[in-house]
């Protein structure tokens, strides 16, 4: 199911700021040369991530699920002057390509790109984050949330992608990944530590603000 009417989606993209040349190139390269290009955030969602990041001006961003680096570069656009972004992906096959893009953006010193299983790496990370983007394997969304919530500053934001899962969250007999997403959405909705809004952008983004309790 398409969440947003295709023509409306196109209209929204046409009336949103353009991607820079490097992002356009990553978008093109990913579609031409990388498996499962649908995973890339893309123009409209990328601009949303950039806008949110600019509003927060984060000192520290954590991204779970780098893929070809598109969303990492969008999020990095809003980093404060001394800010850093950590991004984690288990797929070492994309490493050379992604490091090349980060170098082309002159962000090698701002981005820590960690290869490995996020569930193993996150507990080793110290310090707090202003912004977290969860966009890796759907089965582990709830686990990633549990691992990061205490590392997020009060007032900090967690974004989780694909929370509408092509509309399958409404299925009467959901498959395994869909069940994981539904459980994640219900968990957030019931968590008194946060406020949340589910944005029906692209495949759905859950925007979560940690309360100062
Ligand atoms: C949807 S893609 C990320 C897309 C990217 N954030 C973007 O918008 O351009 C999901 C990524 O999560 C990675 N991934 C899956 N399981 C993982 C795990 N256990 N730990 C770290 N990364 C994982 C995959 O290798 C894949 O590159």
Q: Which atom of ligand 1 is nearest to the CA of 46?
A: 8
Burial of 202 (C-beta count, 10 Å sphere; 0-12/13-18/19+):
buried
Query: Is the beta carbon of 203 within 6 A of some atom in ligand 1?
Result: no
Q: Which atom of ligand 1 is nearest to the CA of 136?
A: 12
Q: What's the confidence (pLDDT) of residue 153? A: 98
Give, using CA atoms, the residue closest to atom 26 of ligand 1.
67
Q: 0.95 cut: is pTM over it?
A: yes
For 119-159, the pLDDT digits (tens) are 999 999 999 999 999 999 999 999 999 999 999 999 999 99
Tell how far the Cα of 213 is from the centroid of ligand 1, in angstroms.
32
pLDDT tens over the chain, length 213 residues: 778 889 999 999 999 999 999 999 999 999 999 999 999 999 999 999 999 999 999 999 999 999 999 999 999 999 999 999 999 999 999 999 999 999 999 999 999 999 999 999 999 999 999 999 999 999 999 999 999 999 999 999 999 999 999 999 999 999 999 999 999 999 999 999 999 999 999 999 999 999 997
DSSP code string of the chain:
--SS-HHHHHHHHHTSPPPPHHHHHHHHHHHHHSS-GGGS-HHHHHHHHHHHHHHH--SEEEEE--TTSHHHHHHHTT--TT-EEEEEES-GGGHHHHHHHHHHTT-TTTEEEEES-HHHHGGG--S-EEEEEE-S-GGGHHHHHHHHGGGEEEEEEEEEE-SSGGGGGG-SS--HHHHHHHHHHHHHHH-TTEEEEEE-STT-EEEEEE---
Give the per-residue pLDDT at 110.
98
How far, in whole angstroms, is CA 147 from its chain's centroid? 16
Give pLDDT, residue 185: 98
Q: Is 117 in the pocket of ligand 1 (CB under 6 A)?
A: yes
Per-residue confidence (pLDDT) for residue 213, from 0 to 100: 76
Query: Whose alpha carbon is nearest atom 8 of ligand 1?
Result: 41
Angle, CA 36 vertex, CA 30 and CA 42 arms, to 5°: 55
Residue 56 is predicted with a pLDDT of 98
* Cβ 91 under 6 angstroms from ligand 1: yes
Q: Which pLDDT score is estimated for 3?
A: 82
**Closest approach atom of ligand 1 to CA 118:** 20
């Amino acid at each position: 199911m398409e969440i947003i009417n295709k023509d409306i989606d196109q209209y929204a993209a046409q009336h949103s700021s353009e991607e820079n040349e490097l992002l356009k190139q990553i978008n093109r390269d990913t579609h031409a040369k990388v498996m499962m290009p649908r995973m890339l955030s893309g123009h409209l969602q990328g601009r949303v991530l950039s806008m949110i990041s600019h509003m927060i001006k984060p000192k520290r961003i954590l991204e779970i699920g780098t893929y070809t680096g598109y969303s990492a570069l969008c999020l990095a656009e809003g980093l404060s002057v001394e800010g850093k972004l950590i991004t984690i992906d288990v797929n070492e096959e994309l490493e050379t390509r992604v490091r090349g893009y980060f170098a082309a953006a002159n962000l090698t010193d701002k981005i820590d790109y960690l290869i490995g299983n996020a569930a193993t790496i996150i507990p080793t990370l110290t310090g707090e984050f202003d912004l977290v983007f969860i966009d890796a394997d759907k089965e582990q969304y709830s686990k990633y949330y549990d691992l990061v919530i205490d590392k997020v500053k009060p007032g900090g934001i967690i974004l989780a992608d694909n929370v509408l899962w092509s509309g399958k969250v409404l299925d009467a007999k959901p498959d395994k990944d869909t069940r994981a997403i539904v459980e994640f959405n219900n968990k957030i909705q019931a968590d008194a530590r946060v406020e949340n809004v589910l944005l029906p952008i692209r495949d759905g983004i859950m925007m979560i603000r940690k309360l100062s309790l």
